[in-house]
Amino acid sequence: MLGAHSNSTLRGDYARARPDYTVDQDMAAYSDTDRRVWRQLMRRQCAIVRGAACDAFVRGIDLLQAPPEIPELARVSDFIAARTGWRLVAVPGFIPDAVFFAHLAARRFPVSVWVRRPDEIDYLVEPDLFHDFFGHVPMLLHPVFADYLAAYGAKGAQAEALGALPRLARLYWYMVEFGLIDTPAGLRAYGAGMLSSKAETLYSLDSPQPHRIWFDLARVMRTDYMIDSFQKTYFVLPDFEHLYAVMHDDFAPLYRRLADTPDIDPATRAPGDRVYAPHASPRHAADL
Ligand code: HBI
Ligand code: FE
């Protein structure tokens, strides 16, 4: 989950971070409260994902064995690296964009080492260990999504050089943090930001309120977002191959074309939007 990290004080201990912002995960540093919060979150979120998350996400959680205790990132890294080449690197929290992109391009996923407080069980601004591990790591085990995220990271340097980081960040926000995917069984969630929150997962799938629009790269890059409320617009993938396919294009011409087109308010629809129409029977409470 991405917060307004530019001006809020960051939670983590950055004093011990290396130049690439990685730190060592000290398993002995977790308190009994941390361990209790982890167990509570893992139990609650696992109860939600079946029937709400796409098969790829559920398979990822199953492969990770939905660790009931705080996981040792180095050990999980070996398991993931053997499947998709991705490794996990421990970080104190938010890290500068350029460093973040460089890690993704090298198939290193930054995972915050600290665990949220009990009073933050339902919402927190910065990504903690649970958000990063439960929300993001399962999809690193999906070969196509894993390739997409590495290709996404590789776009960071050019975006920074062209002053287009905010546009590239929108692609992460909408298609990594809050992505939806259409399946034969109906609409399913795969985004880390929604799947680490029961309320937003249900809202993203069932509420009549938000706009749900078929994925379109330029439309995503034009769409603003708020960090502290449920999304007003979600984008829907037909499959992960569509998301990976757009990464082969050079984004520079797109950034130039978008430079003089206005942003789109997520509360509104735009001309040309291809609206997603639900096609399967609505999910039932029993599915959850
Ligand atoms: N740092 N640790 C961490 N986790 C993130 O998700 C993250 C970040 N830095 C920047 C960032 N996300 C966003 O600006 C991305 O869109 C680049
Ligand atoms: Fe996140």
- Tell me which residue has its CA closest to atom 3 in ligand 1: 94
Cα–Cα nearest to 88, from 148, 141, 15, 19: 141
Amino acid 189: pLDDT: 98
In degrees, rounded to 5, the angle at the alpha carbon of residue 225 between the alpha carbons of residues 247 and 118 is 105
Share of the chain above pLDDT 90, in %: 86
Amino acid 4: pLDDT: 43
The more confidently predicted of residues 81 and 288 is 81
Amino acid 41: pLDDT: 95
Amino acid 8: pLDDT: 55
Amino acid 284: pLDDT: 63
Length of the chain (residues) = 288
Span 100-109, pLDDT tens digits? 999 999 999 9
Amino acid 197: pLDDT: 84
Taking ligand 2, which is a single-atom ion, which protein residues have CB atoms under 5 Å away?
1, 127, 192
Cα–Cα nearest to 242, from 157, 179, 164: 179
Instruction: For residues 261-287, give the mean pLDDT.
Output: 86
For tokens 């991405």, name the residue. 2
- Tell me which residue has its CA closest to atom 8 in ligand 1: 94
Instruction: For residues 38-50, give the mean pLDDT.
Output: 94
Instruction: For residues 74-86, give the mean pLDDT.
Output: 98
For tokens 């407080």, name the residue. 117
Amino acid 45: pLDDT: 92
The domains located in the chain, with CATH, are: 7-287 (1.10.800.10)
pTM of the model: 0.94
Query: Ligand 1 in contact with 110 (CB < 6 A)?
Result: yes
Minimum-distance ligand to the CA of 104? 1
Amino acid 123: pLDDT: 80
Instruction: For residues 210-239, give the mean pLDDT.
Output: 96
Span 138-175, pLDDT tens digits? 999 999 999 999 999 999 999 999 999 999 999 999 99
Amino acid 270: pLDDT: 96
Amino acid 29: pLDDT: 96
